[in-house]
Structure 1
Amino acid sequence: MTGKRGWIPENLDPARPSPARIYDYALGGGHNLASDRAIFDELVRIQPNARQIAWSNRAFMRRAVLFMIETGIRQFLDLGSGIPTVGNVHEIAQKAAPGSRVVYVDVEEVALAHSQLLLENEPDAAIVDADITYPDNVLKAPETLRLLDFSQPVGVLAVAVGHYIPADVDIHAAFEAYREAVPDGSALAISHFTADFEQVRAQEILETVQASAYNPACLRSRPEILALFGDFELVEPGLVPASGWRPDTTPPQSAVPEDDGIWAGVAIKKGTTA
């Protein structure tokens, strides 16, 4: 890997789009190829506010991390992190609370390659090469054990990743394992694409991405996404459209939260009493 293209693995097929790079392009990042841009342009044709959907999701992630920081959390597990592009977790967390530690997890080759380069000189952040549907491989990875202390609260982030877990995979068992691994006071943030909102042509978007990339995908309903939180206690305002989760600015009067096409929420693990 050399020069400006050093973030691209040598064995990469540049004609094969990557969901991680498509998202990077949607956010205005610089780690994407012509094949990715072409797919995103097609998504914009299908859904003109596609870029706003991406930004609404990213803004939710930022607010969720800052909320976790406010609760005292100083370590984060970012599942399906993709390319740590514009406004990544360790930058947000470490700016708000210096010394915060972050473990990114992904299995996509480009996301891994770029993350490894970006984090070379970051002692408090690392990338784990693992499929998040195999929690043991994530939780027992050397970098996870080096950076995260599971006797202290952990902020688990599953932002825009659940819809890349196919329907035939037991997503509930995977999320249960992560919930059980963290102690009381930990938090879980989830955002997930859905077909619940008629303003968003979710199925057509899904089929376009699936036809162009190797990732299978699965739209889930609000009750299905809600179940991923298990017995964690949702904080206000609950599971809502991404832009409606604790917005830090007043949305314009013309804004329609359902245009996000994404359910988002944060929940806390509470202790039980005898």
Structure 2
Amino acid sequence: MRRIEVALSPADRVPVPKSNGYRVYAALLDALDGVDADVSEHVHDAEFGSVHQSGLRGRFGSCDRENHRTLLPTETYDLTIGVPDPADDDVFEALVRALVFDGDRIELADGPVFVESFESERTSREELLDRAAELDDPSVRLTFHTPTCIEDGESVTAMFPHRGLVFADSLAGKWQTTLPSDAEHLQLDLARAAVENSVITKPAESTYDTHSVLTNRVRDGDRPRAILKQGFTGTYTYEFKQATESVENAVTALALFAEYSGVGCAVARGCGNVSVEVST
């Protein structure tokens, strides 16, 4: 698995939607297609979340275009890309070629942003499980930086990071669906009831906010139609109460995994970007 931090800056003022993640995703696919069409197609068509990206994060200027804001040439914007895909080597190599070796920019709809720096780190599920096992009664803090949209039933989105939804449903599901075919021994058996009975959620209430985020535009006949999802941002701490060692280890490993996979749906289009702090 890979986690990549890219710093980008425009040469001129560039308008972007307030929800810029879906535009960045389209631009990344185009950049990948320019160096390896097979990888671009794989990322686009994968049934699981092959790539997670945060969208551009930083200080924006105002814009006279409705539901837009402006990238400023005096500012640098951060883009986090997570690659939990079993084919992470191929995806990573294509990203390096597209953004470092063969190119130096991402072409957005209204102008390019140029790569200032590109840093990456690699880990494995074994390493995440080992780190989790070394911790005694840990406290896990998740900061949801971009709107996080977790489906809860049919056509319903949770508006709060309930412990069962975050760990047993979203993250455990992503862990399983992106597990390499030769790594069945790393499957996590984590029941939602076990999480709900032994994990406590402590919100930092002042950080909580809700959002309606644009994740795509599709054609409905001759007319464009916006696809909106609802989600939340904020910081939440998860602690354990009378939890078994296996539940502690699984929840902690999944929290660490979240920085690579994102949380919830539409993670390829900028949703569900988190940072994680684990302490004892």
The answer, yes or no, to whether TM exceeds 0.5 is no
TM-score by length of 1: 0.28
Q: Which is bigger in relative contact order (C-alpha 8 A, separation at least 6)? A: 2
Larger-gyration structure (1/2):
2
TM-score by length of 2: 0.28
Specify which structure has the higher proportion of strand.
2
